[in-house]
Structure 1
Amino acid sequence: MTFPLHRTLSGFVRDPLEQLEKIGAEGDGRLVRLDLGASRPYLATHPDHVQQVLRRESENFQRDGVFWRPLRDLMGDSILAEGAEWEHSKRVLQPVFTTRNVNRLTGLMAEAINDAVDKLHEPAREGRPIDVMPEMGRIVNETVIKVLFGDKISPREANLMIPTFDQVATSITFRFLLPFVPRAIPMPGDKKFKTAVQIMDDTLYELVDRYRDDPGEGSDIFTALCEARMAEGSGLDDEWVRNNLLAMFATSTETTTLALTWLWPLLHDHPEVEERLFREIDEVVGGERVRPEHLSDLPYVAQVVQELLRLYPVGWMFPRMATRPTNLGGVDIKPGDAVLISPFLTHRLASVWDRPLEFDPDRFTPENARKHHRYAYFPFGGGPHQCIGRHVFNVEARMILAALLSRFRPRLSEAVPAMPRIGATLRPRQPIEMNLTPVGRDS
């Protein structure tokens, strides 16, 4: 099934994500080919096809080719690369993200989250609205920097990196959508992207220089990378450390920040979900500061977070390139063919999900979750390249949500539709503001 350029061009120009949704819905799980003029990638949305690409034939479908170029340009040979570079980076970083190590760090994580949420009391008392995405990003970044980066990134450096990465993620949009356009041809966002990357480089290389030979002790990302760099005969350099620092900073902050940003418009539109959250969190956390042991008694919080990532997976597109001939969904795939995998589209297939556009956390009760195809839901990818930070996200997002709703009742300043725009990640099209009313001991 092919979608010719003359049929889709106006839609891609007007709203590329909406056009992709229409194509995904019309294809209804069939393998479709997109005619983009200079490129003709396949779009695979059926869970069986996703499983074949990401897991069963993962060695054949590589993170390579023209659609991977923008991220490769940004993060180079890192854990987001392929082959030996990816394997080495994953081997170095994996110990930081083991369930055992994350569980060991949850007390520190809870402390960082509670301290970060404390800073919301000032605008709450003053009746001043908060800009949701920057505030969620602040809470996440303060937590991640303390827990995963060993508190080695100073507030000054964090204040440089956070808005700069935001600029990177948005200015890369056109290169991400049209990766086959030669670099010699200027595109919107190129200048902002170059400036932002230079700021990130200046900051990251300064950090690498500071900690390269003395990263200190601990099971954090900085220590793991610097120790690997120092190992005799490693062949690793400062650029390798920089690439992995940027990759891990991006992946460990973006998912949680954006998931928590999407939450508030959805709760505004679904007061019954909000009320169940309030009730569960009040019963379990009450007036206490959130602790790791609270999480096992907050099943509905976990379901809400899972449903957030079904509707708004942050990594919305996973490009792959075939390296040898195969057959996918009855279609012969040749070496060099690009295959696009999209959690955003698969998670919204009517043939896979009942009422796919409706926000319904009860999809993820234990009995309902067992009914899903393993690759009907894959916000963290799958197979050997599945995100190593997924356990951190699951713990962190639930604790932040519990900490926020145990202390405040949020209300949007105005109703904002939860409509995303395409970039390296899916971000809201317009700012979201909300007021926080303190509750219980904080009122």
Structure 2
Amino acid sequence: MSIDASAPTLRRVRTIPVHRVLPGFARDPVNTLADIGGRVGGELVRLSLGPFRPYLVTHPEHVQQVLKADWTNYQREGMFWRPLRRVLGASILGEGHPWESSRKALQPLFTTRYVASMAERMAETITARMDELDVYAGKGQPVNAADEMAGIVNDAVVKVLFGDRISRADGERLAPAYHTAAGSITFRLLMPFMPYSIPVPGDRAFMKAVRTIDDVVFPLIRKARADSTVSPDVISALCALRDDDAGGAGDRQIRDDLVSVYGAASESTATTLTWLWPLLDAHPKVAAKLHEEIDRVVGAGPVAAEDVAELRYTRMVLQELVRLYPAGWIFPRMAVRDGEIGGVRIKAGSQVLISPYATHRLEEFWERPLEFDPERFAPGAQPRRHKYAYFPFGGGPHQCMGQHLFYVEAPLLLGAILSRFRIGVRSEGPFTPAPAASLRPRQDIVLDIARSERVSEGAR
């Protein structure tokens, strides 16, 4: 969007000095951005981070402009995206032709109808993992919430993406590799101006993780290409759609798409659900209502695809969960042309930071924003608020296609676990976000698992 530099609407932007930003940003970037956004009431501000001076965009009107109204000027380019490109490549998370090509290929696979058709397979896969949790319950053995959520979600997502083409051993290599890749680029994300010619902490672990991902995914693509049978998995659909571009660049494009979708569907869902357990532990009334619904709908189980539509309060819990803890906590953009946001001139090449985590905590748009209250999302109870006051899955043309998958996969997982077990949190909080590409807790969340009374009575 071109502008007239002399226009009376333009104003000087407030700059937060380096000594007020950098210490907190280096220690806790997630809450630092949220605190700044709250203090300025959603006003557009510039952050002085030494040689790096991005704009922080938190007001819903400004978010809508960047993500939707003027999205062609605010691209997923620039220094923040360089570390992510090294693992995700040119894919659905890119721009231009690679993004258009990938979105065209993937869109039919992530409609509500298509995801619903995969729900039964996900339910069966999730249910199969419950016997392992039952072993822990029987021994009174605590478990790490992040590890268990990642393991269960990974099994379900791998089944959807790769079908029967992948072994459990290879599937279990993907989750820790992606988790390592997302966590080891912290230094690069916080200090994006550092040259790649200079090794920094995390680089070695990152490259090793990417090699592991490639070692798993590329052979599966070649296997799917060689197999003429029709399968309902995503890799088969992508190979069929790109049948005229086999080998080299075509295989690389499928690899990038699969890894991007895997991250959105597996890493994001697992990390988000990890935050749920301390929230339920701290809000027993919410936990009781959630248990009541799951006991009524799922019963003795196993959880089934048709249960998802009946788990209405469960969906409200999940909607509030991703308000407080959106997996994608930061959406960097770069202005490719001179533009304007909220009366402030944005020069071409400027970096813009959008944080759902920060916007979801603005008091102007959310009453008691720090409180966990699923009733906000009760049908008919929601006040009229700006559409972009709530955007846990992004917005505009780049909105995450995996949101339909999340709202099928997550209720199935909760239905499977809570119909059989009661979960307690052994770790002491408070739990804070780690500086990483996805919103994960810094501390381990250790869970105690006990069989529900109904399951215990059945065992006797």
* Shorter-chain TM-score tier: over 0.9
Deviates more, 1:124-133 or 1:114-123: 114-123
Identity of aligned residues (%): 50
Deviates more, 1:198-207 or 1:247-256: 198-207
Deviations 1:389-440 (A, max 9, x none): 1101001101111111111111112333231112011111111111111124
Contact 2:136–2:142 (CA under 8 A) maintained in structure 1: yes
Gaps of 5+ in 2: 1-13
What is the aligned partner in structure 1 of residue 352 from structure 2? 339
User: Partners of 2:452 and 2:245 in 1: how far apart?
Assistant: 56
Aligned-partner SS, 2:93: coil
The code of the aligned residue for 2:401 comes to I
The code of the aligned residue for 1:119 comes to E
Moved segments of 4+, more than 3 Å: 232-236
User: Partners of 2:149 and 2:245 in 1: how far apart?
Assistant: 41
Deviations 1:272-310 (A, max 9, x none): 111111112112222121122222322211111011101
Contact 1:419–1:429 (CA under 8 A) maintained in structure 2: yes
User: Partners of 2:324 and 2:228 in 1: how far apart?
Assistant: 39
The code of the aligned residue for 2:388 comes to Y
The code of the aligned residue for 2:298 comes to V
User: Partners of 2:434 and 2:228 in 1: how far apart?
Assistant: 39
Contact 1:213–1:226 (CA under 8 A) maintained in structure 2: no
What is the aligned partner in structure 1 of residue 391 from structure 2? 378
Aligned-partner SS, 1:119: helix
Decide which of 278, 282, 285 is 2:295's aligned counterpart: 282
Whether 1:211 aligns to 2:216 is no
Q: Name the CA shift for 1:322/1:234 in 2 (closer, same or farther; >3 Å).
A: farther
User: Partners of 2:88 and 2:225 in 1: how far apart?
Assistant: 19
Mapping 1:329-368, distance limit 5 Å: 329-368=342-381
User: Partners of 1:27 and 1:406 in 2: how far apart?
Assistant: 44
Per the TM alignment, residue 336 of structure 1 is displaced from its structure 2 partner at its CA by 1.3
Decide which of 149, 153, 163 is 1:140's aligned counterpart: 153
Whether 1:191 aligns to 2:204 is yes
What is the aligned partner in structure 1 of residue 19 from structure 2? 6
Aligned-partner SS, 1:437: strand
The code of the aligned residue for 1:54 comes to L
Contact 1:5–1:35 (CA under 8 A) maintained in structure 2: yes
Per the TM alignment, residue 33 of structure 1 is displaced from its structure 2 partner at its CA by 0.5
Whether 1:302 aligns to 2:315 is yes
Whether 1:48 aligns to 2:55 is no
User: Partners of 2:296 and 2:78 in 1: how far apart?
Assistant: 51
* TM-score normalized by the length of structure 1: 0.96
Contact 1:310–1:377 (CA under 8 A) maintained in structure 2: yes
User: Partners of 2:360 and 2:445 in 1: how far apart?
Assistant: 24
The code of the aligned residue for 2:348 comes to P
Mapping 1:54-93, distance limit 5 Å: 54-93=67-106
Whether 1:399 aligns to 2:399 is no
Deviations 1:303-361 (A, max 9, x none): 11011101110001111111222221111112211111110110111222111111111
What is the aligned partner in structure 1 of residue 165 from structure 2? 152
Contact 2:332–2:353 (CA under 8 A) maintained in structure 1: yes
What is the aligned partner in structure 2 of residue 243 from structure 1? 256
Gaps of 5+ in 1: none
Whether 1:408 aligns to 2:406 is no
Contact 2:178–2:267 (CA under 8 A) maintained in structure 1: no
Mapping 1:421-436, distance limit 5 Å: 421-436=434-449
Say how many residue pairs are matched.
Answer: 443
What is the aligned partner in structure 2 of residue 176 from structure 1? 189
User: Partners of 1:346 and 1:232 in 2: how far apart?
Assistant: 42
Contact 1:157–1:203 (CA under 8 A) maintained in structure 2: yes
Q: Name the CA shift for 1:120/1:234 in 2 (closer, same or farther; >3 Å).
A: closer
Whether 1:38 aligns to 2:51 is yes
Deviations 1:190-231 (A, max 9, x none): 111112112222222222232233264134221122223322
User: Partners of 1:380 and 1:308 in 2: how far apart?
Assistant: 12
Q: Name the CA shift for 1:291/1:130 in 2 (closer, same or farther; >3 Å).
A: same
The code of the aligned residue for 2:103 comes to K
What is the aligned partner in structure 2 of residue 107 from structure 1? 120
The code of the aligned residue for 1:10 comes to P
Per the TM alignment, residue 236 of structure 1 is displaced from its structure 2 partner at its CA by 4.2
Aligned-partner SS, 1:33: strand
Contact 1:95–1:219 (CA under 8 A) maintained in structure 2: no
User: Partners of 1:219 and 1:96 in 2: how far apart?
Assistant: 10
Contact 1:43–1:340 (CA under 8 A) maintained in structure 2: yes
Per the TM alignment, residue 10 of structure 1 is displaced from its structure 2 partner at its CA by 2.4
Contact 1:42–1:338 (CA under 8 A) maintained in structure 2: yes
The code of the aligned residue for 1:32 comes to V
Aligned-partner SS, 2:380: helix
Q: Name the CA shift for 1:82/1:142 in 2 (closer, same or farther; >3 Å).
A: same
Whether 1:162 aligns to 2:149 is no
Aligned-partner SS, 1:332: strand
Contact 1:133–1:432 (CA under 8 A) maintained in structure 2: yes
Contact 2:157–2:266 (CA under 8 A) maintained in structure 1: yes
Deviates more, 1:86-95 or 1:232-241: 232-241
Contact 2:330–2:356 (CA under 8 A) maintained in structure 1: yes
User: Partners of 1:340 and 1:8 in 2: how far apart?
Assistant: 14
Whether 1:321 aligns to 2:315 is no
Contact 1:30–1:44 (CA under 8 A) maintained in structure 2: yes
User: Partners of 2:277 and 2:246 in 1: how far apart?
Assistant: 50
